[in-house]
Structure 1
Amino acid sequence: MRHETVLTLDYDAASDAALVERSLEPEIGDIEGDRTTATLARDGDEIRMTIDAADLVALRAGQNTWLSLVGVAERCAAAGADGSEPR
């Protein structure tokens, strides 16, 4: 049995979503394992990420990984927008 989570991320502007998408895109395929895969799609100011896993433990690990990467991308985008260093 496969398990799936769909994350929908909404941003204030399409340019913000595009920046986060460009940050995450290289990781698709690179960090996947035998038990987890992820896909990424953007439509305007919305990013949709689908995480598919063989079991619930792998699904949770995939969610944690991708949400962490989203957080890093968002912090870097915010730091770039105001000229400060990311935290």
Structure 2
Amino acid sequence: MTATRAHETVLTFSYPSERRARLVGDALEPEVGEIDDARSAATVSRDGDAVRVRVVADDLVALRAGINSWSRLVEVAERVGAAGGRQ
């Protein structure tokens, strides 16, 4: 990921257990690099019971689009995990 982007945000999602955070983080990993474009990029990391998504972008429009995309991906990962009985 390019470190010299003008805008950055870090989204932090906390879960009731480290296992749950690991399931969500693992579900997001394949998307890293896949939805990046010329104006934005993201990374995913996990620290205990929290998953962090760092979105960087050249401009605010691209940052907002990245935040929206990654928020939806996290929501899907959470729902799929919950539907599978994974808490």
Could you tell me the TM-score, scaled by structure 2's length?
0.90
1:3 aligns with 2:40: no
Matched length: 82
Note the C-alpha offset of 1:48. 1.2
Moved over 3 A (4+): none
Which sections of structure 1, spanning at least 5 residues, go unmatched? 83-87
Q: Identity of counterpart residues, as a percentage?
A: 54
- The aligned residue for residue 28 of structure 1 is 32
Which sections of structure 2, spanning at least 5 residues, go unmatched? none
- What is the root-mean-square deviation in Å for CA atoms of aligned residues? 1.2
Measured in 2, the distance between the counterparts of 1:21 and 1:48 equals 8
- The aligned residue for residue 71 of structure 2 is 67
Measured in 2, the distance between the counterparts of 1:6 and 1:44 equals 16
Note the C-alpha offset of 1:60. 0.4
Note the C-alpha offset of 1:5. 0.9
Could you list the per-position Cα deviations for residues 21-51 of structure 1 after superposition, in whole angstroms to 9, with x for gaps in the alignment? 0110000011100000101110110111110
Could you tell me the TM-score, scaled by structure 1's length?
0.90
Match of residue 51, structure 1, among 43, 49, 55: 55
Note the C-alpha offset of 1:77. 0.5
